[in-house]
């Protein structure tokens, strides 16, 4: 949580205030509930309120990159590097475990998006997107996924919206 967000909560952020610097009702509600305005208390209430399912824009990790097997680990490292360079917080999970176990781990860690890289995805510069609450979101080009993620962050969306089409 940035200190500027908390600075705005000191006396400037009031429930229902039209020109509030923060328009997200969740964050406004939490900021209104924090009595002493300490960072620790704010984060504790945010974690409790969301049960660890942080909105996409504030999640500690935006996406987990998961190669289907070790044959696709290099392609997955490249995808993770490109997304990281673009400003997303990503984790690469290329452990020698079954894909289902790695997906389960990402779900347990409440990662908003899981990007699966297999043979087709590696060959065509795409990712198969699985959302934390929405299941399979289909296959997107890396640039399409990056545009969706940037939009979700800029618009402070709770979840990554599926591509329409």
pLDDT at 50: 85
User: Going from the N-terminus, what domains does the chain have, and what CATH number goes with each?
Assistant: 3-51 (no CATH), 57-154 (3.40.50.800)
Query: pTM of the prediction?
Result: 0.73
Q: Is 11 helix (H, G, I), strand (E, B) or coil?
A: coil
How crowded is residue 85: how many other Cβ atoms within 10 Å of its Cβ? Answer: 8
pLDDT computed for residue 8 by the predictor:
46
Chain Cα centroid distance, residue 85: 15
Q: Tell the residue number behind the tokens 């790695």, with chain if given.
A: 102
Quick one: pLDDT at residue 14?
46
User: What local confidence, expressed as pLDDT, does residue 73 receive?
Assistant: 94
Closest C-alpha among 13, 49, 44 to residue 31: 13
Q: What is the pLDDT of residue 48?
A: 87
pLDDT of amino acid 10: 46
pLDDT, residue 2, reads 44
pLDDT score of 74? 95
Rounded Cα distance between 9 and 54, Å, is 19
pLDDT of residue 164: 52
Predicted pLDDT of residue 163: 55
Residues of the chain with pLDDT under 70: 1-24, 27-37, 162-165
Find all residues with CB under 8 Å of 24, minimum gap 6, and list them.
55, 156
Tell me how far apart the alpha carbons of residues 115 and 109 are, in angstroms, rounded to a whole number.
15
Question: pLDDT of 107-131, one tens digit each?
Answer: 999 999 999 999 999 999 999 999 9
């Amino acid at each position: 949580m940035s200190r500027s967000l908390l600075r705005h909560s000191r006396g400037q952020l009031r429930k229902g205030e039209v020109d509030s610097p923060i328009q997200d009702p969740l964050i406004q509600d939490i900021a209104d509930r924090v009595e002493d305005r300490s960072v620790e208390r704010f984060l504790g209430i945010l974690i409790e309120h969301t049960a660890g399912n942080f909105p996409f824009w504030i999640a500690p990790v935006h996406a987990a990159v998961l190669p289907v097997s070790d044959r696709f680990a290099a392609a997955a490292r490249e995808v993770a590097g490109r997304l990281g360079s673009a400003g997303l917080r990503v984790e690469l999970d290329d452990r020698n475990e079954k894909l289902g176990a790695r997906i389960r781990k990402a779900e347990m860690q409440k990662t908003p998006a899981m990007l699966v890289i297999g043979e087709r995805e590696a060959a065509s510069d795409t990712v198969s997107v699985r959302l934390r609450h929405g299941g399979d979101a289909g296959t997107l080009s890396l640039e399409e996924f990056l545009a969706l993620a940037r939009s979700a962050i800029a618009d402070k969306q709770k979840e990554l919206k599926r591509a329409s089409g």
